[in-house]
Amino acid sequence: MADPFRSSTKRIAPLPDGFLATFTEASVFRSTGLAYSSPIVIRFKVADDQIVSLFEYYDPIAVLRALGELT
C-alpha cells in the first residue's frame, strides 16, 4: 500500500501512569504516488511494568489526501 514508513522520534515524555511518544511519520502511497506526512502521538498506559493500553493519534486528513480521496 505504501513505501516503507520513515519516522523520526521527537520526544518521549514520562507520565505518572505511562509515557507519551511524539514523532513524525512519512511515506509515499504506491497507488497514487502521493506523499504522506503526519505528526503522531502515542499515549501508553502502564501498570505492573506492562503496557495495558495504547492510544494512537494521527492526522487522518493527511492519509486521505495521500490516497487521493481528498484534494
Residues 31-59: pLDDT tens digits? 899 988 999 999 999 999 999 999 999 99
> Residue for cell digits 512519512?
26
- Residue 56 pairs with which residues in a beta bridge? 42
Higher-confidence position of 47 and 3: 47
Type and span of the H or E element at 33: none
Tell me the β-bridge partners of 46. 51
| pLDDT of amino acid 7 | 77
Q: Side chain identity at 19, as an amino acid letter?
A: F
- C-alpha closest to that of 3 among 21, 19, 25, 23: 25
What are the chain's domains? 6-66 (3.10.450.50)
Q: What is the value of pTM for the model shown?
A: 0.75
